[in-house]
Chains A and B, each alone.
Chain A
Amino acid sequence: GAVVSQHPSWVICKSGTSVKIECRSLDFQATTMFWYRQFPKQSLMLMATSNEGSKATYEQGVEKDKFLINHASLTLSTLTVTSAHPEDSSFYICSATGTGRATDTQYFGPGTRLTVL
């Protein structure tokens, strides 16, 4: 299947700092990317959907000023957690759909574990 990577795989930061997570589609053009958050022992919660070159669409209850999403190219989307606080600690997963074999399903990245001290 298609490959999606995330970087970093884990990050620890101090409260108040900003953290950027990258999501890349390695072998297809990702016209749409999704960002999920998963708290321990819970399901994946969709945070936002972004189409290349457009502003992201955020799910209800997700602060767009807190979680900045940039989908500037067909292979890269970034999620920036601004002024992170301990309650933002979570597992963040991206997924992508797009061209070719990635047309009709989402391919998931391996996730990024964020710990805010």
Chain B
Amino acid sequence: AQKVTQAQTEISVVEKEDVTLDCVYETRDTTYYLFWYKQPPSGELVFLIRRNSFDEQNEISGRYSWNFQKSTSSFNFTITASQVVDSAVYFCALSDLIYNFNKFYFGSGTKLNVKP
């Protein structure tokens, strides 16, 4: 069965610190997608990244970077030089392709508090 685990419920850091959000997933499928979303207090989910299961290259986008390791079924997210505006709940999600549409499996989320 598909499952996404975000073991860190809440993390607090001081501005400019680096922080890594962990995500571990379980799936029997060989083809799947992994996502990270940011949910600020407004509630709207903000898409950050999508990675397919065949692409294990790490990705960097500005202060954000992602480390995908199939060997450990992990898709961790690092924010370097964190800022107060990064404060939000971050969700990792897994999707597979069933009957031509994707079902999402969300982790429980990690609340990031960045203090000035």
- The reply to whether A104 and B103 form a contact with Cβ atoms under 8 Å apart is no
Q: Which B residues are in CB contact (< 8 Å) with A44?
A: 91, 104, 106
Contact residues of B: prevailing secondary structure: strand
Which stretch, A15-23, A62-70, A107-115, touches the partner chain B?
A: A107-115
- Across the interface, which residues of A come within 8 angstroms of B45, CB to CB? 93, 108, 111
Asked if B108 and A43 sit within 8 Å, CB to CB, the answer is: yes
CB-nearest residue of chain A relative to B109? A43
Contact with A along B72-116 (1 / 0, CB 8 A): 000000000000000000010001010011111011110100000
B44 beta carbon closer than 8 Å to chain A? yes
Q: Check if B102 sits within 8 Å of A111, measured CB to CB.
A: no
Chain A interface size, as a band, is 20 to 34
Decide yes or no: A43 and B103 within 8 Å by CB, A105-B33, A111-B43 being known contacts. Answer: no
Residue of A nearest to B35 (CB): A105
Residues of A within 8 A of B (CB): 1, 31-32, 34, 38, 41-44, 46, 49, 51, 91, 93, 95, 97, 104-106, 108, 110-111, 113
Interface residues on B, range: 20 to 34
Chain B positions within 8 Å of A, measured between CB atoms, are 33, 35, 37, 42-45, 47, 50, 91, 95, 97, 100-104, 106-109, 111
Nearest CB of B to A98, in Å: 9
* Residues of chain A lying within 8 A (CB to CB) of residue B37: 108
Task: Determine whether the beta carbon of B95 is less than 8 Å from that of A91.
Answer: no
Q: Tell me the complex Cα distance, A22–B21, Å.
A: 34
